[in-house]
Amino acid sequence: MSHNSFGQLLRFTTWGESHGPAIGAVVDGCPPGLALSEADVQPWLDKRRPGQSKYTTQRQEPDQVRILSGVYEGRTTGTPIALMIENVDQRSKDYSEVARAYRPGHADYAYDAKYGLRDPRGGGRSSARETASRVAAGAVARLVIPEVRLRAYLVEMGGIAIDRANFDDAEIDRNPFFCPDPAAAARWADRLDAARKAGSSLGAIVECVAEGVPAGWGSPLYQKLDAQLASACMGINAVKAVEIGDGFGAARLSGEENADPMRPGSDGPQFLANHAGGIAGGISTGQPVVVRMALKPTSSILTPVETIARDGSATDIRTVGRHDPCVGIRAAPVMEAMVALVLADARLMHRGQTGR
């Protein structure tokens, strides 16, 4: 409905620009009585925080969250939870060039075409800085679904995929790429270094797995859990593709190959495969929910590109300033947050309709 909100029973609204005084989120519909303090939110923001390695933007933002409402004596009250993060390190002088001409592939031209004006400082509202608000909101959503374990990680960067045989869960937090394959992480480091030095940028594919989702969450058709997850992930900056389970790969399988056979299990059915990514008919099956999304390489690059100026004349643009050479890296905690928000909302919706 409104442009900057997401969710139904658990609904959040974000606001703020890259170079305004602050950004924030209002989380509405949260169940009452959940233990919540800033210490529950901060660790997730810290995972997404820029400036932690040479592979992300050098903008220095402490990303300290404040909870301004909705909590009393350490418990959620059921009323809206306002989360605010101040912007500390804005250097608006960097952006005069962006005000003059459009970065191809960026939102610049489209915003001007839609609104007739735009805030060019750091991309304004279209900046990936907005995703900090989502991570903060996602931290609240996690409290609603304590039974669910979420992990997002990169499975491909700059065309180099991980080797699934090397998959090591513990490795994800050991390298600056949220990469579960140490060998791939090393190759990515080289590749990204080269791109950064060349004034270029790289794309990436991020995967998120949610374990512990019981069968029955989600809805048929327009609110298929797949559709909600697709909407949630495609709404993240730079994302241009989303798939559930085998996704595009499923289109190449036969009906027998793609079936996820069932056997009696101790606690509901046991599935012998998970091509469906944990969702059938739009409803969770009890298997792990698996989502994958692709991020394009950022269009803010040092290499000059042909473009037009606001006055319509031909020009070239190269984007000086501080940018992530691969926005896919910091998208991993953002994806986790969005998946958490979808699942928490689905849980409340399911409980509302069915009482379970």
Could you say which residues in the range 127-156 bind a copy of itself, by CB under 8 A? 130, 156
Read off the tokens for 130: 């907005």
Closest CA to 89 of 54, 63, 127, 65: 63
Q: Segment contacting a copy of itself (CB under 8 A): 52-60, 135-143, 176-184, 216-224?
A: 216-224
Q: How many residues does the chain have?
A: 356
Applying CB under 8 A, which of residues 9, 172, 184, 343 lies at the interface with a copy of itself?
A: 9
Q: Segment contacting a copy of itself (CB under 8 A): 4-12, 51-59, 168-176, 181-189?
A: 4-12
162 is a contact residue toward a copy of itself (CB under 8 A) = no
122 is a contact residue toward a copy of itself (CB under 8 A) = no
310 is a contact residue toward a copy of itself (CB under 8 A) = no
Nearer to a copy of itself, 150 or 225 (CB): 225
Q: Segment contacting a copy of itself (CB under 8 A): 43-51, 54-62, 89-97, 260-268?
A: 260-268
Q: How far is the CB of 107 from a copy of itself (least distance, A)?
A: 2
Q: Measured between alpha carbons, how far is 196 from 200 in angstroms, rounded to an integer?
A: 6
Query: What is the number of other CB atoms lying within 10 angstroms of the CB of residue 322?
Result: 16
15 is a contact residue toward a copy of itself (CB under 8 A) = yes
Handedness of CA 26, 283, 278, 149 (dihedral sign): positive
The answer to whether residues 52 and 12 touch, using CB atoms and an 8 Å cutoff, is: no
Applying CB under 8 A, which of residues 301, 337, 342, 344 lies at the interface with a copy of itself?
A: 301
6 is a contact residue toward a copy of itself (CB under 8 A) = yes
264 is a contact residue toward a copy of itself (CB under 8 A) = yes
8 is a contact residue toward a copy of itself (CB under 8 A) = yes
Burial class (CB in 10 A: 0-12, 13-18, 19+), 223: middle
Q: How far is the CB of 353 from a copy of itself (least distance, A)?
A: 6
| Helix (H/G/I), strand (E/B), else coil: 82 | strand
Q: Segment contacting a copy of itself (CB under 8 A): 39-47, 89-97, 173-181, 270-278?
A: 270-278
Q: How far is the CB of 172 from a copy of itself (least distance, A)?
A: 19
Could you say which residues in the range 218-237 bind a copy of itself, by CB under 8 A? 218-224, 226-235, 237
90 is a contact residue toward a copy of itself (CB under 8 A) = no
Q: How far is the CB of 236 from a copy of itself (least distance, A)?
A: 9
Residue 282: phi, psi to the nearest 5?
A: 90, 0
Residue 139: phi, psi to the nearest 5?
A: -65, -35
Closest CA to 191 of 88, 183, 139, 287: 183
Q: How far is the CB of 336 from a copy of itself (least distance, A)?
A: 17
The answer to whether residues 287 and 222 touch, using CB atoms and an 8 Å cutoff, is: no
Tell how strand 22-28 and strand 81-86 pair up: antiparallel
| Helix (H/G/I), strand (E/B), else coil: 226 | helix
Nearer to a copy of itself, 176 or 282 (CB): 282
Contact characters 47-76, a copy of itself, x per CB under 8 A: -------------------x-xxx-x--x-
Nearer to a copy of itself, 90 or 174 (CB): 90
Q: Segment contacting a copy of itself (CB under 8 A): 43-51, 118-126, 145-153, 179-187?
A: 118-126
26 is a contact residue toward a copy of itself (CB under 8 A) = yes
Nearer to a copy of itself, 150 or 338 (CB): 338
Q: Measured between alpha carbons, how far is 344 from 340 in angstroms, rounded to an integer?
A: 6
Provide CB contacts within 8 A for 89, sequence distance 6+. 59, 60, 61
The answer to whether residues 41 and 67 touch, using CB atoms and an 8 Å cutoff, is: yes
Q: Measured between alpha carbons, how far is 134 from 334 in angstroms, rounded to an integer?
A: 7
Q: Measured between alpha carbons, how far is 248 from 74 in angstroms, rounded to an integer?
A: 45
180 is a contact residue toward a copy of itself (CB under 8 A) = no
